[in-house]
Amino acid sequence: MIHFMIQFGRLKKMTRKYLNDRWCARCGRLTPTPYLVKNQKLFPENGVVLDIGCGNGRNANHLRLLGYSVDPIDMVDQPYSMQIVLGHDDLPQRKYDIILANYILMFLDENERSKVMYEILDRAKENAILMIEMYPAKDAHDYDFDEIVKFFLDRGWSKLRKSKDKCVLKFAV
């Protein structure tokens, strides 16, 4: 499936090559996000992790070294991840203790983001942890971070940590 985005007033074709060259390679960091490291003590030990938008695998690799089982997924071609089109293809049909959505939701349009958020609800085990990190990237779609957090709070999640465009939530049925 090919996606399109508006860039500089022009329609830009979002091919796999564009995604690989522009989004994944742009980060270049190999260490986990500082927010993940700061908050990993909130994670249950030896849990099963879904890393949505794993990019170059930096968070997935870090958690694997700590003993977690990780399902990394992304829209780009990576040898270590499942390739899906977020917001169109379904997330893996498995229940997770930890779900990471680090620096990915802002790249999904409102409909795609909504689909992924509902799938997160469906894939979360009781007492699951959800970590969301976002930022207003040049290629990002408009989003209201507080509305995204409220979506989960209205559906049984509680806030463990929250700062500007970053949060850790816990699901308690």
Note the pLDDT of residue 139: 80
Question: Can you say whether residue 57 is alpha, beta or left, with left for phi > 0 and alpha for psi between -120 and 50 degrees?
Answer: left
> For residue 79, what pLDDT is reported?
66
pTM for the model stands at 0.84
In words, the CATH class of domain 30-171 is alpha beta
pLDDT tens over the chain, length 173 residues: 334 443 433 434 445 454 445 444 445 667 899 999 999 999 999 999 999 988 888 999 999 999 999 999 987 766 667 788 888 899 999 999 999 999 999 989 999 999 999 999 999 999 999 999 999 888 889 999 999 999 999 999 999 999 999 999 999 86
| pLDDT value, residue 105 | 95
Per-residue pLDDT at 78: 66
Structure-token match 């099963």, residue found? 48
pLDDT at 30: 75
The ranges assigned to domains in the chain are 30-171
Instruction: Give me the pLDDT at residue 128, please.
Output: 98
In whole angstroms, what is the distance from residue 103 CA to residue 137 CA? 9
**Strand ranges (DSSP E) for 15-165?**
48-52, 69-74, 82-83, 96-102, 124-133, 157-163
- Nearest-10 Cα torsion for 136, 151, 88, 120: 110
Give the integer Cα–Cα distance in Å for 41 and 46: 12
